Structure 1
Amino acid sequence: MEERAAQLPDARGMQNYTAGFVTEMSERSRLPLDYTVASLRLVDLVVDGLRRNRPVRSGVDRFLSGLGAYTGEVMVRRAGARWVDLDDGQREMFGQPVGVRMPDGRVWNPLGKVVKRFEDGPGESVERFYLLLHGRQPRKARRGAVQRAACG
């Protein structure tokens, strides 16, 4: 975990970290990472492609971290979550330094979910993780919050 933790910023830096990863992947691979829920299916497919040749995980950790950060940022933008620095117990349990907190207070581990997809395969779908996510803010409430934020 320490090697991965050293690569990841704290919660305040996750949005910029994710944006950099998305820019790099868009330029390099033309991946349409557009922060939509539908794009999480693409995350599953990319992870499956990474695991196809059974590489050593350390060789793909940077990509897994980026895809996990992207998944978390979709949760932030689409489900009303926010990035949080995990406490010591959560870091030990999740194996990550950051996670997302949902509007209902639950903390989730999108970075770890991508790692599980890599390690365990299609039974660990990132897309399904989002679709079954507890604690999402209702769509109508999110739209109102965005409109209020845009107005002042």
Structure 2
Amino acid sequence: MSHPMMWVFAVLIVLAMGGVALLAAGRGEPMAPAYDDRPDALVPATRALGADDLRRVRFSLALRGYRMGEVDELLARLARELEGDRAPGVPGAGGGPAPAVLVRVLAESWAGGHPAGSDILDFSTESVDQVESSLDQWSRRDGRGPATEDADVWAAGSYLGEVLVRAVPGARWSQHLAYDGTPVVEMPSGRFANPIGRAMERYDGDEGDSVIAFVEAALAAEEGTR
């Protein structure tokens, strides 16, 4: 390329950069206002989710993100289910079963972000040892709050419930008046297991409230009914 042509391209590049600078400075046609794509509303971590929480939540945008229309539709459906407003013919209409997808997402998110990693927290019965260890460590933290306000304890309890659901064919997340709205696992035999409640007891108590023993007892009781 000749030297004159090189200078022409250089001038064009400088002019283009100058135009961008003018627009950014507010001259000419202004640039579109920057949009902060961080979540506009965060899901509360210290209490149970409500329908209004799902309606307010916004997700961060990413290069290879989800279709926002599909995400919005899912959130709207989950909000309706939390209010017990399921469509006719859908299992659980009238507020029976808990929105299992929410508990499952909470458990999977916690397992994926845990320092132990998903190789250990793989929802096997053996992985409950790690949950026991985590609850024990958290219970010794200085200035810790009550279990009902600790997001990690809720997530660990959700994880324990998912272990039971995946280990016992026919087990499912449900709700029962006796547990004050806390999601519990309903076994095929009709028994109810309260993994979130046991996680809280372990956090507030001692080794006598072992979550390992809780899972083993729940599995053994169900095995005895077959």
TM score, norm. by length of structure 2: 0.51
Bigger radius of gyration: 2
Whether 2:105 is the aligned partner of 1:11: answer: no
Question: How much has 1:136 moved relative to structure 2?
Answer: 4.4
Q: 1:44 to 1:103 in 2, by over 3 A?
A: same
* Distance (Å, rounded) in 1 between the aligned partners of 2:102 and 2:217: 27
SS at match of 2:185: strand
Paired letter, 1:105: G
Between 1 and 2, higher relative CO (CA 8 Å, sep ≥ 6) is seen in 1
Q: Would you identify which runs of 4 or more consecutive aligned residues in structure 1 move more than 6 Å?
A: none
Paired letter, 2:48: A
Give the percent of matched residue pairs that are identical in Structure 1 and Structure 2: 26
* Distance (Å, rounded) in 2 between the aligned partners of 1:78 and 1:137: 15
**Structure with greater helix share of residues:** 1
Alignment check: 8 A CA contact 2:173 2:186 kept: yes
Which of these residues, 103, 109, 112, is aligned with residue 188 of structure 2? Answer: 103
In structure 1, what is the equivalent of residue 53 of structure 2? Answer: none
Paired letter, 1:103: P
Unaligned regions of 5+ residues in structure 2, if any?
1-45, 51-81, 83-97
Question: How much has 1:98 moved relative to structure 2?
Answer: 0.8
Question: How much has 1:125 moved relative to structure 2?
Answer: 0.7
Aligned residue-pair number:
129
TM score, norm. by length of structure 1: 0.73
Whether 2:123 is the aligned partner of 1:35: answer: yes
* Distance (Å, rounded) in 2 between the aligned partners of 1:109 and 1:72: 8
1:103-134 Cα deviation digits (max 9, x unpaired): 10111100000000011111011111111112
In structure 1, what is the equivalent of residue 179 of structure 2? Answer: 91
Please, what is the CA RMSD of the aligned residues?
Answer: 2.6
Whether 2:157 is the aligned partner of 1:73: answer: no
Alignment check: 8 A CA contact 1:35 1:70 kept: yes
1:46-61 aligned within 5 A: 46-54=134-142, 55-57=144-146, 61=150
Which of these residues, 30, 36, 45, is aligned with residue 133 of structure 2? Answer: 45
